[in-house]
Structure 1
Amino acid sequence: MSFTESVSFALLDWHCSELRLPLKKQSMHHHGTLILRGRSDIDRLPNELLSTIFMFAIEQHCHDASTLTISPTTISHICQRWRRVSLDTGSLWTNVVLTFPPSNEQLTRTSTWLSRSKTYPLDILLDFRDPEWDWEEEGTHGFGWTDMEAVLRLLLPTAARWRIMELLTDTWAPIFAFLLHTRALGSPLKRLEKLHLARCNAYFARKGQVFEPADLGQHLPLFGGAGAVVPRLREVMLTGVHIDWSAPPLANLTKLELKYQAVDVMPTVAHFIQILAASPSLETLAIVGRGPQFPAAAAAAVNGGSAEADARALRGTIKLARVTQFTFGFVDVNYAVQLLSLFDLPALCELSLEDVSASLRHQPPDDASVLLEWLVGAANDTNDTPISPPVFEDAVDSTSASTSRLPLGQLHTLVLLSIHAPRPTFARLYDVCPGLHVLRLYDVCDGALEALERLFPDDVLPRLETLFVRGTDKEIFTRVVSGRGTVLNDTQFEDSTICEYAEDDEETTS
């Protein structure tokens, strides 16, 4: 039974009860006139049920301080009884939100909420992004190192109660301050379930881009590194944020996202494999921009081998038996093939591919034929027919009958973003995805949509039910939808939201 249903049934049971108290008369004076009124239904609710209703109202608005209309503070100012009940309900004050620009008023309010939340777990959102920021890492920003330290002085004493910690900034200094001042926490973080750290500057994922500012590029240990005990941590999202990859406290995760990192601060392949091996129950994986650093050809030659031979030896070494959703965004097609060749994902159901270099360079995407043809070849080498996703027992080392590394034949959902290739390449890709139910095409070339037009169109993705298209020719979309003998259950077309690409504009690539 859902929370909403529970509250509804509780209210109904109370309303139908024969034990309801009789109405009381209360008097109010208004300009000398005595007014009698009966107690309203809400006045007769037990404190426990009133507290539950307050919680339900707050949960609809948590983590949205900018448009907050119903907050614990608002509720606590309605009347004396509501204030008493709200102050006694510690769980009502656990959604802590601090936003840009920082102010003493926000810090004072946060201090009050932390006190009123008593011993309950805390969900913390620190969003210090400035909409007017000029993208200069070394320039002046309204939220810096000292501002972060002021926030941490307030929050660190409550670290044992953190359940969700989200920190969003524009520049690196506040992130570095957070990593520096929390590196000794470790074991007290026994309630932490979700961690999201983001320096929201995707441009560091550009090909050849190195980390800045260089003097703050150290790999700090997250919460103390391997010695930290964070037993409930299940979701970790690091966007533009690097840590000491050699021994991070990342184990038993169900979700991991590594996004928009500079190439020189990413983990080695060996450390990358160790991190993923520590989470055999991982279900959702996202790598956008850059993954691990592969050894250079020169380094491999010193060890008596070759970079190509080392890459072949690593193929399929990362087996994640429970990953069903994989998001992969790349800036270099050849690197993308090299990285994807590491994975063995027998339970894969949803695959998203994106050429992120297009948006980072403001130029047309590269030809992704090499990547798509590799996927087609891998699927043909390992699977002749679609395979149902495996059913796992409780043991984390359960294996699948499938030997496929990326079993496209069993995909339920395929998402392509800014992917460009010739029409025949897309046709071959669709042919190895016969079980596809959902296809989403965002700002791809027209060939991706035209590949759905064949002499016998129903033979292309025969199980397709949902088609979402953005940024291609609407006439082609209409033709594809109307030409299928099997009617799609859900179709949607949107015009592109991406600006025109600049051609031969050196300033956009510098």
Structure 2
Amino acid sequence: MAPVPPVVVPLHPADHEFLDRVAALRSPEVAAANPGRPPDRLPNAKAISAHFEKVMATWEPHSFTPEERQQVRLDGLRYLVIVRQIEAVQRDIYPRQLPPETAAQLDFARRSYMLRYFRIFRINELPTEIISNILRFVVWDSMKSPVNARLRITWTCRAWRAIALADSTLWNAVWFRGSGPRIDRAWSWFERARLAPLDIRIDGDPQAEERDDDCSVFDLTAEPSMTPFDMRQMLLRLFTKLSTIRMLIVVVDDWKSALVLLELLGTVVPSCGVPMLQRFELHRGGLKNEDRKTLMWPHVVSKPFMGGVKAPSLTYLSLNGVPIDWSQSVLENLTTFDIRRLPASHSPDAARFREVLRNCPRLQKLSMDGAGPRFEESAERIAPVDLPHLRTLVVADFSREYAMFLFSQFSAPNVNDLTLMNLCGDDYLALFIQLTSVFPKVRLLTAYSIQFDVNPHGLAAMTQWLDSMPLLSYLRVANVANPFFGLFFRANDLKTPVSPRLQFVDCQSIEPAIIVQWAKDRANFGTPLSKIYLSEELGARLTDDQIKTCQSLCMLAKLPRGATTPEEAALSL
């Protein structure tokens, strides 16, 4: 077999001249590629971007002749040689930087090479299985919404469209909201999913946030919420695939639509079953907050959840402002149990609540936001239910007496993430004394709107509560009195720090001067913070001097609302 002749990469004379100037940078005396002469080849990033936008806009896809393919290949190799030689110089002169015009040329050459590389990359000659896996990665790991990713894949070429439409797993995440084109598109995806496990979200809340990715597909104005009749018709059609639904999240704004869902589930599930359902959420009143203390409920007859039959795969249950018949519902083997906004008239009694907890021995997250067992002040003390696997606990919006009763119903010594919110309007010191030494493994603490007596006894007791969580590393804090920050210092014992492992703080609704002074005091005390996350509102209130002070002590970053920080995610594992 004859040897393959080496590929000769044709560099232009101007290329050689330019690369010679770049190579001269290796001499320490040379400070620029062409001193005293203005750059003549795409000197800035803006010009480079404009050039490639024009190239892409004017490109007409077509089948290459062998001559065209060879020319594209040679042009690509030319730019690859230029890239490699500039990168070699860049390594040799480190830590000196390339001159701006040379850096611009490096960027231009890289993008020119990639443009030609993809024009001749024979992706459609790969096996269908590999292309399908690539497309799945593009859709589900896209930085932007899978909505646009799925659509654009089907618009690329006939081959990709055929592969995408044949892959039911690309279409099994379906979001129903609004009306008209959005709903039609969702039903198309519902059909394309065929028998793949379905992840369904229904958003009937008229206040639901609009997503930018949809605006590029449809030019839609504000749309009305789904009516209860629309909800019923939609659910009847969805439930033709009830056995394949893996996740069902429903957000509605009215009572009737929520009751329609519960009614249909109670009617259909006993005869058809839900063998694959792993996660169920129903939010009545949307996801916005309401004044729970004045929450008025109409006369509602509670029905058994899922008709009183067992959902064998269900591990995640969230009920927000909706009633069920607790005594007739089968609730067991949950790993996440989330209840919100339930008045006492529609809450489980304490015995039934403890029974549900006992039936969920692998429970990992328990969230009780204005909802829990009915208060039984006169009931004799019963041993709490042990929840050894509980890692995340959220308790919010309760009176002092009720919160103390609630914490007496269970024990969870391995909680890692503890959230206490809206415990205010009274002195909750007795509650924090009760919680001292109860959660020794907490590493993430959220304290929003908590209230306690700030006299010397109260401050000492609250410091003891913090001392009982020695692993605390991440603090989320908002709407707390200024003395809360003083709990982290001992005036009479400078050698024993409070929360010595505390490194990360997420702040909202706090006086800027307080957080700046607190960061300084932590550093002076010998327990400096590593990073402070600020809400966008709080960050805008800091002065330039305050920002500089914080940055001299630790890292400072703005945190968009609802975002999860990398440190928080790591500590939650």
Provide the C-alpha distance between the structure 2 equivalents of 1:34 and 1:91, rounded to a whole number of angstroms.
31
Provide the C-alpha distance between the structure 1 equivalents of 2:537 and 2:490, rounded to a whole number of angstroms.
25
Provide the C-alpha distance between the structure 2 equivalents of 1:276 and 1:63, rounded to a whole number of angstroms.
39
Partner of 1:334: 401
Offset of residue 45 of structure 1: 2.2
User: Structure 2: 5+ residue runs without aligned partners?
Assistant: 1-58, 70-119, 210-222, 539-573
Partner of 1:95: 173
1:373 to 414, 430, 437: 430
In percent, how many aligned pairs have the same letter? 23
**Structure 1 contact 435–463 (Cα < 8 Å) conserved:** yes
Partner of 1:152: 235
Provide the C-alpha distance between the structure 1 equivalents of 2:531 and 2:342, rounded to a whole number of angstroms.
36
Offset of residue 426 of structure 1: 3.3
- 1:341-352 to 2 correspondence within 5 Å? 341-352=408-419
3-state SS of paired residue (1:408): coil
Verify: 1:130 aligned to 2:206, yes or no.
yes
- 1:342-491 to 2 correspondence within 5 Å? 342-355=409-422, 365-367=424-426, 369-370=427-428, 372-379=429-436, 407-423=438-454, 424=459, 425-455=461-491, 456=493, 459-483=497-521, 484-491=525-532
Offset of residue 34 of structure 1: 9.5
Partner of 2:370: 289
Count of paired positions:
401
Change (3 A) 1:331 1:495: farther
CA deviation digits over 1:51-98, x for unaligned, max 9? 112212221469958xx3222x43223222112111211111111111
- Of structures 1 and 2, the larger Rg is shown by 2
Change (3 A) 1:34 1:83: closer
**Structure 1 letter corresponding to 2:283:** A
Provide the C-alpha distance between the structure 2 equivalents of 1:129 and 1:61, rounded to a whole number of angstroms.
26
Provide the C-alpha distance between the structure 2 equivalents of 1:495 and 1:95, rounded to a whole number of angstroms.
32
CA deviation digits over 1:216-236, x for unaligned, max 9? x121222211xx232211111
Q: Which stretch of the first structure deviates more once superposed, 479-488 or 334-343?
A: 479-488
3-state SS of paired residue (1:111): helix
Structure with the higher helix share, 1 or 2? 2
**Structure 1 letter corresponding to 2:442:** L
3-state SS of paired residue (2:471): coil
User: Structure 1: 5+ residue runs without aligned partners?
Assistant: 1-29, 134-139, 296-306, 357-364, 384-406, 498-510
- 1:54-453 to 2 correspondence within 5 Å? 54-60=135-141, 68-71=147-150, 73-99=151-177, 101-103=178-180, 105-131=181-207, 142-183=225-266, 184-186=268-270, 188-200=273-285, 206-207=292-293, 209-212=295-298, 214=299, 217-225=300-308, 228-295=309-376, 307-308=377-378, 310=379, 312-314=380-382, 316-355=383-422, 365-367=424-426, 369-370=427-428, 372-379=429-436, 407-423=438-454, 424=459, 425-453=461-489
**Structure 1 contact 470–493 (Cα < 8 Å) conserved:** yes
State TM-score, norm by structure 1. Answer: 0.72
The Cα RMSD (Å) is 2.9
Q: For CA contacts below 8 A with separation 6 or more, give which structure has more relative contact order.
A: 1
**Structure 2 contact 395–421 (Cα < 8 Å) conserved:** yes
**Structure 1 contact 263–293 (Cα < 8 Å) conserved:** yes
Offset of residue 204 of structure 1: 5.9
CA deviation digits over 1:336-385, x for unaligned, max 9? 111112121122222110017xxxxxxxx413x33x43332453xxx5xx
**Structure 2 contact 488–497 (Cα < 8 Å) conserved:** no
Partner of 2:11: none
Provide the C-alpha distance between the structure 1 equivalents of 2:473 and 2:184, rounded to a whole number of angstroms.
51
**Structure 1 letter corresponding to 2:135:** F
State TM-score, norm by structure 2. Answer: 0.65
Change (3 A) 1:262 1:437: same
CA deviation digits over 1:428-454, x for unaligned, max 9? 422332332222212211111122233
Offset of residue 237 of structure 1: 1.0
Change (3 A) 1:444 1:191: same
